[in-house]
Structure 1
Amino acid sequence: MAKFNTRTAPGSSPVRTATTPTGRTYEGGPGFARDQKSELFLLAVTNMVGEATFYESAGDRDSRFARLVRDVAVADPAWVAGFLGWLRSDANLRSASLVGALEATRALVDAGVPGGRQLVAAVLKRADEPGEALAYWTSRYGRAIPKPVKRGIADAIARLYTEYGLLKYDTASKGFRFADAIDLVHPVPAAPWQGDLFQVALERRHNRDEVRRESLPMLTANGEIRQAAATDPRVLLDADRLRAAGMTWEDVLSLAGDRLDKAALWSALVPGMGYTALLRNLRNLDQAGVSDAVAGVVAARLADPTQVSASRQLPMRFLSAYRAAPSLRWAYPLEQAIGHSLASVPALPGRTLVLVDTSYSMNAGFSKDGTLRRWDAAVIFGVALAQRCAAADVVSFSTSTKVFPLVAGESLLRSIERWKAGGFFLGDGTDTSGALRRHFARHDRVVVVTDEQAAAGGSVDRAVPASVPMFTWNLAGYRMGHAPSGSGNRHTFGGLTDQAFRMIPLLSAGRDADWLWLVG
């Protein structure tokens, strides 16, 4: 009996389904129901909250998410705590993690289980989010706020409320101002200066005269520069003074109006702008005519791997910036940036078949005001993976298929634009099994990037030999999957970042892959 000269046994993965079909996809294909944790995971990592998808209304989708997170929170509080913390940080999904923490806390309170305070505090990471949390809770459950929610928000306020946060986020457009949050949850100031800040927030909210305080120099400087700008807008060209006064680029543009040269104004703004603000304003920088020297500073920041990581931008945001920017001077730094954001995409040996779903359902947007579609994300992940494989065949599929030729040395962003220009977004139905049967040719593995809503007429699972690993990358989080997952050679991942790609090398080596926040 052989002890050593045997094939590596397949590993197991955390997203698990039934082993045989238990229902139908939305398009009538065999559907595999997931367990609750798996369904919650795939839904959460693709969920923008309050946004409809092709097959699911916003209300139905949000209700399913709330039900799942409540059920799982009571059944396994530790799992939900780890998941929501990871969802807010590594997965970069702010709204889904905030809603998840509040719904989980509601379920824990109802069940008499502790832990809600820590859940809420952990997902609030920006100074406007305590107000967001209160707005969500009161709109859904009224103004009776349980202690774990209040204390979690209070803990976050003590960590997040700063002078700059007040200047940037405490605006009249918000339903819950900083003072409203302070009045409702009664946070304990973390330091004397923060107690003064709380008092200023209350004065602003209740239209009382603000008292200047030595402990709050940024607020004082902000008031002074606003007063000076009324008579001499040139003070807005002093980058150091703008930064010391916590002036946002929106405020400066509003104060300046048409009184200053736009190139000079944007040049003064650049040193104090955050990464996300720079990414979203490349068109404005071009239209203002900033110099190549200023553009070089911006380009260096865009391409800096540390700043890319800290910004927590989704890879598709770099594609959006690339498409919006008129000038080609941003192309290379954006190419570097999207590469850094996809650092976890593995280099795979052998031959890989990559199928990218461009059926009509994948033409759904991620948000009502967004220009990027789910099939844009699919192309980003599919082509990025293919470019790192030793050998890859890339196929766009719907009811028909079209082979996308890779070009050696071509940048990812240029490949994506060639995909668009070459008519590789196909539309129509989702014949996944047909595409697999047509294009599988003794590949070492198959990766399918899709919403999994395969049409009737064929088994996705059986379209590839059981001995060949098939990895599904899910981009929509619907309830039914198109194939089994969790064991053997069938595994499903998902999300809008590169995080779960780390599982493919583990499983290819026959190792088990756990939930991402448990493996580091």
Structure 2
Amino acid sequence: MRFNFFKTTTPVTNYAGAKAYKLTPDMELYSAVVTASLQDQFYEKTTDKLERLRSLIAQNDPGFVARLAVYTREKMYLRSIPLVLAVELARTHKGDNLVSRMTTRIVQRADEITELLAYYTLANNRKEVKQLNSLSKQLQKGLAVSFNKFDEYQFAKYNRKAAVTLKDALFIVHPKAKDEAQQLLFNKIVKDDLQTPYTWETELSAAGQVAYGSEKKKAQAFKKVWEELIDSGQLGYMATLRNLRNMLDYDVSTAHLQKVCAMLSDREAVLKSKQLPFRYLSAYRELKHINHGMIVSIKRALEKALQVSVQHLKGFDANTRVVIACDISGSMQQAISPKSKVMLYDIGLLLGMLLQHKCEYVIAGMFGDRWKQVSMSPDNILGNVDEFYRREGEVGYSTNGYLVLEDLIKRNYVADKIMLFTDGQLWDSKTNNAATANTMSAKWAEYKKIAPNAKLYLFDLAGHKSVPLDVRQNDVFLVAGWSDKIFEIMDAIEKGSDAITEIAGLAL
């Protein structure tokens, strides 16, 4: 089923006070979940968002909620929000094994067992000593199966002192060992006797416990640790991305840095790592002000890796005319998490430049107070994001997205696909009178007279309650999230499907 055949959504007012359209419960839940960072956003506090998620879960079919959790974990590579969905669904849905099946699918790392239980205590306001008493039976069954997924190394890697430990989880979940070897492993968890794993954290921690005669000797010791980690082949992809600057700071040899570059740009390693695109941008940004002879090679490796990560993107040929518009308004200047330097603004630019890389006939630009086209090389994705970032002040910080369509109308430019990367809170800052304000909806209707076959894609990066156009009619589509996987939804739309249909069709 396509959105075109649904009835019109309800007109509402967005956070900026402009006319907008309220999403249906399934679309709103999808949008909120795949953009969830569980931290305060520009327009919405974390506690408000959690309450909205609970309300939306109650309004949706439990099977859809479960499949959305699986989609978010397996397709969008998000970790925390699927655990939230599992716990919240377990609070209200009873009577079958839906929650246990969902839980088994979304728990893909050993520490997600303890993270889920920790959220369970918070969500249920458990403050007593035995916080995990009366654990949901379906959560318990799902976690019991999950315990059978991991080996000693995986358990030991994430066996940390926290509010809920692996030992706590083992006692409350009571998993059944599949064989004698696993029973021995469970006994080790109980006795806190897991073998210390070989990881970059443990190796650096051990090196940090040694007393050194000078800072120079300490630096040499840490350099040796990093080189041994690189040689071992056990330094994970994400750990490598996160520690490029540390390797340079400790003057790791050129030969070792060449190994790092080869690993980062290796096609199989890239695809297996399942990194969100902004991880590459974060790594790139950390190198921005470092002077080192290998910087160019490392940046080249990051660029190659990012391009490999979107090689699956379909639907663009020499005859497809595409317009990419990136929202750089004030509300987009919001970090995606408390510890991250990456903002919604960055993600919009990055996804836009990923898309431009795959297009042959493309106009790209940014809008704030004004709309401005910016010509960029298609083969320098990370550099393009920084260039856009440098030029952000050239268009101001309002949310006049309608200017993108107005420009196309004035030039009588016929596009096939128009794509806005935005938090969706668009309004007309140039017209004081609300009755005469320009709206995306009105401009789109006008543009469709020029380009009747054009499609408008709203890439929602924030997951608020409303969007500036009715996304269920007149060739307007909503796609939400921070991953390059959002382009798979776009491809599904081209084939007559949509995000909700794709999620609802997942096997569980």
Cα deviation code 1:295-326 (max 9, x no counterpart): 12211221122222222211011011011123
Distance 2:353 2:111 in 1: 36
Residue 85 (structure 2) pairs with residue 100 (structure 1): yes
- Counterpart among 315, 319, 343 of residue 311 in structure 2: 343
Does the CA-based 8 Å contact 1:345-1:384 persist in structure 2?
no
Distance 1:492 1:388 in 2: 20
Residue aligned with 2:438, SS: coil
Aligned-residue offset at 1:389: 2.1
Residue identity opposite 1:354 in structure 2: I
Residue 329 (structure 2) pairs with residue 380 (structure 1): no
Match of 1:202 in 2: 190
- Counterpart among 275, 281, 284 of residue 319 in structure 1: 281
Residue aligned with 1:159, SS: coil
Aligned-residue offset at 1:330: 0.9
- Counterpart among 20, 23, 27 of residue 31 in structure 1: 20
Residue 154 (structure 2) pairs with residue 165 (structure 1): yes
Aligned-residue offset at 1:53: 1.0
Match of 2:168 in 1: 180
Does the CA-based 8 Å contact 1:314-1:341 persist in structure 2?
no
Does the CA-based 8 Å contact 2:204-2:222 persist in structure 1?
no
Distance 1:320 1:18 in 2: 42
CA distance 1:425–1:122, change in 2 (3 Å): farther
TM-score, normalization by structure 2: 0.85
Distance 2:3 2:278 in 1: 26
Aligned-residue offset at 1:35: 1.2
Distance 1:507 1:183 in 2: 46
Distance 1:480 1:190 in 2: 48
Distance 1:473 1:336 in 2: 24
| Greater mean alpha carbon deviation, residues 310-319 or residues 396-405 | 396-405
Does the CA-based 8 Å contact 1:102-1:120 persist in structure 2?
no
Residue identity opposite 1:126 in structure 2: R
1:397-408 aligned within 5 A: 397-407=367-377
- Counterpart among 113, 116, 120 of residue 130 in structure 1: 113
1:128-277 aligned within 5 A: 128-141=111-124, 142=126, 143=132, 144-160=134-150, 162-172=151-161, 174-204=162-192, 210=193, 219=195, 222=196, 246-257=197-208, 258=212, 261-270=221-230, 271-277=233-239
CA distance 1:425–1:341, change in 2 (3 Å): farther
Does the CA-based 8 Å contact 2:9-2:24 persist in structure 1?
no
1:70-81 aligned within 5 A: 70-72=58-60, 75=61, 77-81=62-66
Residue identity opposite 2:71 in structure 1: W
Distance 2:502 2:422 in 1: 21
Residue aligned with 2:383, SS: helix
CA distance 1:177–1:519, change in 2 (3 Å): closer
Distance 1:24 1:342 in 2: 36
Residue 435 (structure 2) pairs with residue 455 (structure 1): no
Does the CA-based 8 Å contact 1:469-1:489 persist in structure 2?
yes
Does the CA-based 8 Å contact 1:357-1:398 persist in structure 2?
yes
Residue 266 (structure 2) pairs with residue 304 (structure 1): yes
Aligned-residue offset at 1:255: 1.2
Does the CA-based 8 Å contact 2:166-2:189 persist in structure 1?
yes
Aligned-residue offset at 1:105: 1.9
CA distance 1:63–1:482, change in 2 (3 Å): same
Aligned-residue offset at 1:13: 4.6
For structure 1, the 5+ residue unaligned runs are 1-10, 205-209, 211-215, 223-245
Does the CA-based 8 Å contact 1:430-1:455 persist in structure 2?
yes
Match of 1:235 in 2: none
Root-mean-square deviation (Å): 2.3
For structure 2, the 5+ residue unaligned runs are 127-131, 213-217, 429-436
Residue identity opposite 1:86 in structure 2: Y
Alignment length, in residue pairs?
A: 462
Cα deviation code 1:95-120 (max 9, x no counterpart): 011111111122212xx354211122
Does the CA-based 8 Å contact 1:364-1:374 persist in structure 2?
yes
The percent of aligned pairs where both chains have the same amino acid is: 25
Match of 1:63 in 2: 51
Residue 445 (structure 2) pairs with residue 474 (structure 1): no
CA distance 1:78–1:508, change in 2 (3 Å): closer
Cα deviation code 1:474-505 (max 9, x no counterpart): 11110111101134311111111122323445
CA distance 1:70–1:155, change in 2 (3 Å): farther
Distance 2:31 2:246 in 1: 36
- Counterpart among 232, 248, 251 of residue 286 in structure 1: 248
Cα deviation code 1:173-198 (max 9, x no counterpart): x1111110011111111222221122
Residue aligned with 2:459, SS: strand
Does the CA-based 8 Å contact 1:18-1:32 persist in structure 2?
no
Match of 1:42 in 2: 31
Does the CA-based 8 Å contact 1:18-1:34 persist in structure 2?
no
Distance 2:205 2:467 in 1: 49
Cα deviation code 1:67-90 (max 9, x no counterpart): 222432xx3x33333221121111
Aligned-residue offset at 1:249: 1.0
Cα deviation code 1:37-82 (max 9, x no counterpart): 1111111111012x0111001111121112222432xx3x333332
Residue identity opposite 1:453 in structure 2: Q
Match of 2:363 in 1: 393
Match of 2:402 in 1: 433
Distance 2:24 2:6 in 1: 6
- Counterpart among 348, 367, 374 of residue 337 in structure 2: 367
Residue 68 (structure 2) pairs with residue 83 (structure 1): yes
Residue identity opposite 1:12 in structure 2: R
TM-score, normalization by structure 1: 0.83
- Counterpart among 489, 492, 502 of residue 478 in structure 2: 492
Residue aligned with 1:364, SS: coil
CA distance 1:343–1:410, change in 2 (3 Å): closer
Aligned-residue offset at 1:264: 2.0
CA distance 1:497–1:433, change in 2 (3 Å): same
Distance 2:9 2:30 in 1: 21
Cα deviation code 1:328-375 (max 9, x no counterpart): 221111001111222344424332221110000001110111100001
CA distance 1:188–1:20, change in 2 (3 Å): closer
Aligned-residue offset at 1:463: 1.1
Does the CA-based 8 Å contact 1:363-1:427 persist in structure 2?
no
| Greater mean alpha carbon deviation, residues 79-88 or residues 332-341 | 79-88
